[in-house]
Amino acid sequence: MVRREKSNYTIQSVSHALDVMEQFNGNVDEIGVTELSKRLKLHKNNVFRLLATLEARGYIEQNKVTENYRLGLKCLQLGQTFIHQLGLLLQARSTLEDLVKLTKESAFVAIRKGTAIVPLEFVEPARPVRVVSFLGTALPSHCTAAGKVYLVFESEGGLSQALPERLDRHTEKTITDRQLLAEQMRNVSETGYAIDQGEFSEDISSVAVPVRDYTRTLVGALGVAGPGHRLSSETIKQEIAPKLLRAGSELSKRLGYPE
């Protein structure tokens, strides 16, 4: 099978829309349709349709007085998300490395994307049997430790609205009953950490705690994952959870979360 260059898959209309947005830089706050048409060498009707699409999605807004266009609030929101993630990753690396040394298990940081949980950083221990990196994988929220952290702590206690309508079963231990899951979430709220013991993958257990920043916003979940036979309920409670709670607290402090 011959692999094609990614540039061969680009969509011209999307590329033109990004060209429009990139015209708004530090030297230019507002631009009119005619000026954009000249810069991009596109017909004014095409530019207007691109602007109308971006405006409908909140990425571009029109100044009703000058009738020129400027960047919309959605761009600011994306920028803030990027900054939060970048700050989280920069601060989390040393925490993850320390956790691996303390627990001798894999450590990770994950965030929520829609209803899914996505690991952003992952550090593995130097031992033959371990959980290997699952960076970038979209994980379900109802049967993973990191997902449960978001379900509880993103809404300041109690099951949040991020729970999908259908709770898919991944193993025999997956909780698909919403009432049973709500009961487990109450325990998570009390202990400060969430557990998944074979609920997503039969032979893997994980533990996770919330990470907050200076705005008190939940910006990620810090977790430890390992083979189920090593991460028993007692091991998690007595050894892993205390270390993870301390690490989560310290990471939150570095991100400006007040004590």
For position 76, what pLDDT does the model report?
77
What does the domain layout of the chain look like in residue ranges? 11-71, 81-254
For position 190, what pLDDT does the model report?
92
Token digits of residue 37: 């048409």
- Compute the distance between CA of residue 72 and CA of residue 58 in angstroms, rounded to an integer: 5
For position 157, what pLDDT does the model report?
47
CA distances to 81, 209, 248, 258 from 212, rounded to whole Å, are: 14, 10, 9, 9
- Determine if the pTM surpasses 0.85: no
Chain-centroid distance, C-alpha 210:
12
For position 113, what pLDDT does the model report?
83
The CATH superfamily label for domain 81-254 reads: GAF domain (3.30.450.40)
Sequence length of the chain is: 259
> What is the identity of the amino acid at 114?
G
- Compute the distance between CA of residue 16 and CA of residue 205 in angstroms, rounded to an integer: 46
Q: Which fold has domain 11-71?
A: Arc Repressor Mutant, subunit A (1.10.10)
For 71, other C-beta atoms within 10 Å of its C-beta total 18
By the 10 Å C-beta count (0-12 exposed, 13-18 middle, 19+ buried), 2 is classed as exposed
For position 7, what pLDDT does the model report?
61
- Compute the distance between CA of residue 216 and CA of residue 252 in angstroms, rounded to an integer: 9
Return the bridge partners of 207, or none. 195, 224
Of 133, 85, 128, 83, the closest CA to residue 230 belongs to 128
- Calculate the CA dihedral of residues 72, 74, 75, 81 and round it to 10 degrees: 160
Mean pLDDT, consecutive 10-residue stretches, the chain (259 aa), reads 60 90 79 92 93 93 91 82 76 92 94 86 86 81 93 69 75 89 89 95 94 90 94 94 96 87
For position 126, what pLDDT does the model report?
87
- Compute the distance between CA of residue 222 and CA of residue 201 in angstroms, rounded to an integer: 19
For position 258, what pLDDT does the model report?
84
For 192, other C-beta atoms within 10 Å of its C-beta total 16
